[in-house]
Amino acid sequence: MGGLRPSLTDASGGLTYHWRALRYRGNLWKPFCAQVERWLLDWQPPQEKLLIVGPSAGYSLPTGFLSRFAQVAILEPDPLARQFLARRFPALDFVYGSLDCMGSAEAPASLAAEYPDSAILFSNVIGQRLDGLPRSWASALQIALAGHSWASYHDVISTEIPPRTMDPRRFSVGVSLEDVLMGFWDGGELSLHDHQTFAALPVEDYAIWQILPSRYHLIGWRSQCVAC
Ligand SMILES: C[S@@+](CC[C@H](N)C(=O)[O-])C[C@H]1O[C@@H](n2cnc3c(N)ncnc32)[C@H](O)[C@@H]1O
């Protein structure tokens, strides 16, 4: 199975992402980070080990969440992010894995096999990668992780149009993407980038992440807990 290739220029992370975090984490990103903290507080997997896929330097991850686990492993191809992560959370002794769990449609099965007793958190990475993955990857993931505690927050769409509301919202699974968008934006033509997760990885909970002064991401959250 393929390993993670080190990357500093990944479109979903790398230097641009660190610069944005430096500039906006203390202001523009605060409401979204607070929402992630609430989602993570509600997710109480019984496992003692946690694997985070795509943590970057953990800019959206609260210390209290990470310190709930006896061991925290990560899969992160950005070497700078790994250094920053260790510096931001000095009390934690991260375990660095090398599996590329988004490398192929077979990779989710390898992920489940390599981390059989870990809860797994996809930390805002699936929405940036799904476009380039085989169509079967998301269903393979859900099958492979059926017996795991796992969670994901990920991009659904992004746009430069400011939403009508920044408040998080819950919709039942089965509503259309149009209905979800109407819950946040006024009607009419919405020019957007579709991150292809809406149908592939259905969610009920949504929040807005204003990543730049003029860029808004609609983020979905899903989670499940399974006994050890
Ligand atoms: C938008 S950033 C994640 C944000 C981060 N979770 C935070 O709290 O700030 C996406 C991250 O996923 C990483 N990534 C990209 N491809 C990956 C892969 N195949 N496996 C694991 N991580 C990956 C990127 O290097 C980047 O750090």
pLDDT of residue 5: 82
Mean per-residue pLDDT, 47-69: 97
pLDDT mean across residues, the chain? 95
Task: Please check the confidence at residue 123 and state whether its pLDDT lies above 90.
Answer: yes
Specify if 172 maps to a domain. yes
pLDDT of residue 11: 63
The response to whether residue 152 sits with its C-beta less than 6 Å from ligand 1 reads no
CA distances from 63 to 4, 33, 46, 91 (A): 25, 12, 18, 10
Output the domain CATH number for residue 42.
3.40.50
The response to whether residue 149 sits with its C-beta less than 6 Å from ligand 1 reads no
pLDDT of residue 9: 67
Task: Please check the confidence at residue 203 and state whether its pLDDT lies above 70.
Answer: yes
Q: Measured between alpha carbons, how far is 1 from 97 in angstroms, rounded to an integer?
A: 13
Mean per-residue pLDDT, 164-190: 94
Mean per-residue pLDDT, 6-34: 89
Q: Measured between alpha carbons, how far is 166 from 156 in angstroms, rounded to an integer?
A: 15
Indicate the number of domains in the chain: 1
Specify if 3 maps to a domain. no
Q: Measured between alpha carbons, how far is 157 from 165 in angstroms, rounded to an integer?
A: 15
Specify if 183 maps to a domain. yes
The response to whether residue 155 sits with its C-beta less than 6 Å from ligand 1 reads no
Mean per-residue pLDDT, 199-212: 97
Probe residue for ligand 1, chosen from 4, 7, 8, 12 as the CB with the greatest number of ligand atoms within 8 Å = 12
Specify if 8 maps to a domain. no
The closest alpha carbon to 96, from 70, 67, 122, 74, belongs to 74
